[in-house]
């Protein structure tokens, strides 16, 4: 067994536990750029990696009271049907013929967007809190529908690229619920919602033959202890420094894939 596989899994698991981000955004480019995995297989394997890793992390966050289950249900109402529709589209089109180039370009673009979103999450939260303070009655009335719509967007993006459930999901939570969500609850809710979404999308990719379970097993050997440690350290680290470092890694990976 190549020790690079469990080491990569551990580092990504640690980052996911700390920030809720990285299950797809970090592991997919690592598989393609560092481990030499075919893009379609990287997406399918990454979805299973993220789902199983976040299942462990979500359990820890739930035990610490970090998951808002009402918001999880609203997101899932949009994301799971959207994931099913996207899987159906992938299965009935000729996407397999062009998948490698398409996936790499899509993945690179989403990573660049995710990098900027991750870096700006704090500023977005400040703006959202100011807006909610002025229009709180109206926003509370439309929040359920907006949350379902946000989930649908995540369902499409995650199923196509394996990226977005973490950084994009967390930023959507900060924008929609700036006064309700503490940093710990953003991470916990984001991770818990990602579990059914990534596993459902992963099942679809497995059906299409895009999952390397041998590789998945070696990655999980590192990621499971990594996310347990990271989930317990969430409240002890500086989130601003973490986000800056993570954004830099995502930006470099995205530009490399697109270039």
Secondary structure of the chain as H, E, C letters: CCCHHHHHHHHHHHHHHHHCCCCCCCHHHHHHHHCCCCHHHHHHHHHHHHHHHHHHHHHHHHHCCCCCHHHHHHHHHHHHHHHHHHHHHHHHCCHHHHHHHHHHHHHHHHHHHHHHHHHCHHHHHHHHHHHHHHCHHHHHHHHHHHHHHHHHHHHHHHHHHCCCCCHHHHHHHHHHCCCCCCHHHHHHHHHHHHHHHHHHHHHHHHHCCCCCHHHHHHHHHHHHHHHHHHHHCHHHCCHHHHHHHHHHHHHHHHHHHHC
Q: Which of 3-17, 59-73, 81-95, 173-187 has the lowest mean pLDDT?
A: 173-187
Question: Residue 202 has what pLDDT?
Answer: 95
So what's the pLDDT on residue 70?
94
- Residue 96 pLDDT exceeds 60: no
Per-residue pLDDT tens digits for 102-137: 777 888 888 888 788 777 766 766 676 666 555 566
pLDDT of residue 134: 58
Domains in the chain, number: 1
**pTM score, whole prediction:** 0.84
Nearest to 27 by CA among 218, 233, 207: 218
Q: How many CB atoms lie within 10 A of CB 155?
A: 27
Residues in the chain: 259
> Of 39-53, 105-119, 126-140, 244-258, which range is least confident?
126-140
What is the distance between the alpha carbons of residues 74 and 228, in angstroms, rounded to a whole number? 26
- pLDDT, residue 203, reads 95
Structural domain harbouring 31: 4-258
């Amino acid at each position: 067994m190549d020790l690079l596989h469990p080491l990569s899994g551990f580092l990504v698991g640690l980052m996911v536990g700390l920030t809720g981000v990285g299950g797809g955004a970090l592991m997919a480019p690592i598989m393609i750029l560092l481990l030499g995995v075919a893009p379609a297989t990287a997406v399918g394997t990454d979805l299973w990696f993220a789902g199983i890793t976040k299942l462990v992390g979500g359990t820890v966050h739930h035990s610490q009271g970090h998951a808002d289950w009402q918001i999880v249900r609203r997101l899932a109402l949009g994301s799971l049907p959207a994931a099913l529709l996207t899987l159906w589209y992938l299965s009935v089109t000729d996407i397999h013929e062009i998948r490698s180039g398409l996936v790499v370009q899509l993945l690179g673009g989403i990573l660049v967007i995710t990098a900027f979103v991750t870096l700006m999450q704090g500023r977005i939260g400040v703006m959202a809190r100011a807006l909610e303070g002025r229009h709180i009655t109206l926003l509370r009335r439309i929040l359920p529908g907006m949350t379902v719509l946000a989930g649908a967007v995540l369902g499409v993006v995650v199923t196509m690229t394996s990226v977005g459930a973490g950084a994009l999901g967390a930023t959507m939570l900060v924008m929609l619920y700036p006064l309700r969500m503490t940093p710990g609850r953003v991470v916990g809710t984001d991770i818990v919602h990602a579990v059914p979404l990534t596993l459902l999308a992963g099942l679809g990719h497995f059906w299409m033959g895009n999952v390397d379970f041998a590789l998945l097993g070696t990655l999980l050997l590192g990621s499971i202890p990594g996310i347990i440690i990271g989930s317990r350290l969430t409240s002890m680290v500086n989130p601003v420094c973490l986000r800056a470092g993570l954004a830099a890694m995502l930006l470099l990976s995205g530009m490399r894939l697109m270039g």
